Structure 1
Amino acid sequence: MSAAAPGWALVTGAARGIGRAIADRFARSGHAVAAADVDAAALESAVAELRAAGATAVAVPVDVSDPASVAALAERIAPLAGGRLRAVVNNAAVAVERPFFELTDAQWQRVLGTGLTGAFLVTRACWPLLARPGAAVVNVSSVHGARPLPGQAAYAAVKGGLENLTRALALDAAPHGVRVNAVAPGFVLTPAWQRWLGPPDAERGRRLAAEVAATVPLGRPATPDDVADVVLWLAGPASGYVTGAVVPVDGGLAAQAFRPIGAEDTEGSADA
């Protein structure tokens, strides 16, 4: 994999999970990393590990849904990065699993404020640091952006909006030489996912893990590093002619109409 010329990368939602893996990938490729998250304590721990590994990294606590907090983020980063960012990765997101009819105003606003408005605010605030050839924005979407599951109305609205924001921003940014793309992960083994699965030795955890393995064509969920690898590629010169794209990182999950029925029965009918 070709890496981008070293520079500063901003990663939101960098305290854990996919965001933390992305920050680590950028750091290991020689970039300096501005790691941002609303959880200041977890963020400091993540940045301490990056520094211990020899990386240049700063922790910048931020609430991406708050314009004032995002403005302070950009002001903090600008002098550190010498007025130039190589990449912005909008990864911060929250989810509420609840039927549409039970969603409260506060839940709706929190999910959209973090995952969609947050990406808008961060990219807009950082635009003066990005607006030059070679810079890149990578948004972290989800399979929910195109194929929602029940109980994910707010999250699906965010990811669908984020994918179209990616396309629209790519058009506006192209004259400046800035590329804008997104990744759309499927099942990812993050700490939040592990908590949802429950103890791996428990019956529920084993059952759900087996269902995921049977549903994903490649037979396993992604690791955060799987997603981080593609984000780094989209931010680097090897993808220099790619913009406005949403790249699935889902093991083939979104390529199928639905989980094959009776797939284990090789003698069954092919009629559908």
Structure 2
Amino acid sequence: MTQRFSGKVVALTAAASGIGLAALERFAAEGAMICASDISLEALKTAVAPLALPEDRLLLRECDVTDIGQVQSFIDDGVRRFGRLDVLVNNAGTGALAYVTELDQEAWHKVIAVTLDSVFYACRAAMPHLARTQGAVVNTASISGLFGDNGLFAYNAAKGGVVNLTRALAVDHAPENVRVNAVCPGLTATPRTAWMMEDTEIRAEYDRRLPMGRPGTPDEMAAAIAFLASSDASYITGVNLAVDGGLTAATNQPAFGRLRKQ
């Protein structure tokens, strides 16, 4: 494993499982000092314990990303502890499966708050520190922010906001040499998507539609996040990178080539 982040400080939200935890592990393996948060501090402590990171490389905080004060404190604590901030990874998100006539106001606002407001709050808190280090932001968006889904309109709206917020912040802060990018995962095998993997009908649909024939892994998403955060991507900003096994490369028309051979 390379040491691209040796001496660097990385802050991550929603880091106790899935893509967030995989990203934490990747940055730690590449030498970073880690400032990580999650809604459950106990879950976060349990998740990172196997890494056995020394105390001088790790700070864990409980943080409700829908609370601007808690997000500000999380960023401030990290900078106070490590003296700098080089990378911010905004990973929190949630969805609601419903049609527009079915979703109540409270559920709508929760999806927007967790998924979109949290990115604004963290970027607002972190940007002055990132400007000093000429750092980078990587947001976890989604292919659902690039296109619409059936029954996921609130999630589509929130992730679409993350996609365009990423572009806008990239433009605003390029003069400060702060890069802002996002990964847009497709189906990824995490605890949150386990119900999809266990539903034979849904899994069969994905198997049919995915050109690579399988879901992505959290480690594959983490690799893309680390790339966008690293100096290897030094001239890349404002990009929303689809990491989806080719799903959004397809028109979803019939598989003419295979059908012709039958």
Specify the TM-score bucket, using the shorter chain as the normaliser: over 0.9
Partner of 1:108: 108
The whole-number CA distance in structure 1 between the counterparts of 2:55 and 2:73 is 27
Uncovered stretches (5+) of structure 1, i.e. residues with no partner: 199-203
How far 1:75 moved relative to its partner?
A: 2.4
Partner of 1:153: 153
Q: Percent identity?
A: 38
How far 1:74 moved relative to its partner?
A: 2.1
The one-letter code matched in structure 1 to 2:219 is: D
Partner of 2:185: 185
The whole-number CA distance in structure 2 between the counterparts of 1:156 and 1:111 is 10
The whole-number CA distance in structure 1 between the counterparts of 2:21 and 2:52 is 13
Flag the 1:189–1:163 CA change in 2: closer, same or farther, 3 A. same
How far 1:67 moved relative to its partner?
A: 1.2
Partner of 2:29: 28
Partner of 1:201: none
Uncovered stretches (5+) of structure 2, i.e. residues with no partner: none
The one-letter code matched in structure 1 to 2:110 is: R
Check whether the contact 2:196–2:202 (CA below 8 A) recurs between aligned residues: no
How far 1:259 moved relative to its partner?
A: 5.0
Kindly indicate whether residue 176 of structure 2 is the aligned counterpart of residue 176 of structure 1.
yes
- Deviates further, 229-238 or 124-133: 124-133
Map residues 216-255 of structure 1 onto 2, 5 A cutoff. 216-255=210-249
Map residues 68-217 of structure 1 onto 2, 5 A cutoff. 68-82=69-83, 84-198=84-198, 204-205=199-200, 207-217=201-211
CA-to-partner distance for each residue in 1:174-232, whole Å, 9 max, x for gaps? 1111100001010000011113433xxxxx43x43333222111111100011000100
The one-letter code matched in structure 2 to 1:98 is: A
The whole-number CA distance in structure 1 between the counterparts of 2:246 and 2:208 is 12
Flag the 1:129–1:51 CA change in 2: closer, same or farther, 3 A. farther
Flag the 1:55–1:230 CA change in 2: closer, same or farther, 3 A. farther
Other structure's SS at 1:155 match: helix
Kindly indicate whether residue 40 of structure 2 is the aligned counterpart of residue 39 of structure 1.
yes
The whole-number CA distance in structure 1 between the counterparts of 2:56 and 2:49 is 9
When normalised by structure 2's length, the TM-score is 0.93
Aligned length: 261
How far 1:5 moved relative to its partner?
A: 4.4
The whole-number CA distance in structure 2 between the counterparts of 1:76 and 1:210 is 46
Check whether the contact 1:99–1:152 (CA below 8 A) recurs between aligned residues: yes
How far 1:261 moved relative to its partner?
A: 4.5
The whole-number CA distance in structure 2 between the counterparts of 1:160 and 1:214 is 26
The whole-number CA distance in structure 2 between the counterparts of 1:6 and 1:81 is 10
